[in-house]
Amino acid sequence: MTDGARRALLVLTGVLSFLFYVAIAVVLANVATVVLADPPAPGVLVAAVVASGLAFGYLSYRAGPTRILGALDARPVPRATAPRLHERLEAIADRMDVRAPSVYVAALDAPNALAVGARGGGVVVLDHRLPRILRPEELDAILAHELAHLEGYDGLVQTLAASVLQTVAGIAFLAILPVGFLFAGLSRTATYLAGQQPEPFRVHLQRTHYRVGQLVVLALLAFTLALRAHSRRRELAADDRAVDVTGDPLALARGLRRIQRASDPYRGLWSSLFVHGEEDALTELLATHPSMDDRIERLRAMADDRQRITVDVE
């Protein structure tokens, strides 16, 4: 085949490819038009979206402990195996408005702790290395922090808010998907017209999905930032509650520092449940936890204030 014939074939393929993508975009747009031909009142639509998000979020929350324990391959810790740990956990729970949770152990990616569930029947998961690297009073402070999350229903609030956000994001994704296919068609056609062989169709489809998803994230950035800011505030509130219960802010500060030094911050799937914070300044606004250094300095300042008050009283 001559270069001219090959170029003509690529141009023809590019035109047909563009028409194909346009057809997909038109079909998706028509489907959206039919679905929204008789849309409900804005208030009803918003209420339906929020209600469905809350419903799915609550179901996810109820199934959360079982799902997370399975994903982490966590194992229960019987009282007979660690009676002192159970006694300390129950003693802390007695000072809080929460029932003593079940205790599980797992091999996490970092020496850490997490709590799932609510005050009526939660679960605390400890990394198997955590009792070895923490002193008893430091472990108590970490446990009190986790129980504070259960006491405040933090997991429920975060799950419901995230579910509503995901529901809205899904609707927004479908709404702008036709535009995404149109631009994907333009990109693929431009490649053909340039005389080059484009990547496989599935690669373009994946790229379209990714770029449309990016647009959705940008459109919902304010909601995402608000949700992450609430998560960081609840971490500080859990620190405060742990100090109220244990009366020892330095124990929690030392415990956090030992966890920080034991491993790099874990940024995986369950990072929003862990006790540590994300410390990359570039992702500070999107972090689920405050900076670990900021939390430790805050606890040290709290200890200084308590000592100053004690001296003044004496």
Note the pTM of the prediction, 2 decimals. 0.69
Which comes out higher in pLDDT, residue 296 or 3? Answer: 296
- pLDDT score of 282: 46
115 DSSP β-pair partners = 124
Q: Is the dihedral of CA 212, 216, 217, 219 positive or negative?
A: positive
- pLDDT score of 314: 47
pLDDT tens-digit map of 186-229 = 777 777 777 777 677 667 667 766 776 667 767 777 888 888 88
Cβ within 8 Å of residue 12, ≥6 positions away: none
* Residues composing the chain: 314
Q: How many CB atoms lie within 10 A of CB 9?
A: 12
Of the candidates 208, 175, 186, 212, the one whose C-alpha atom is nearest the C-alpha of residue 22 is 186
Structure tokens at 114: 């997490």
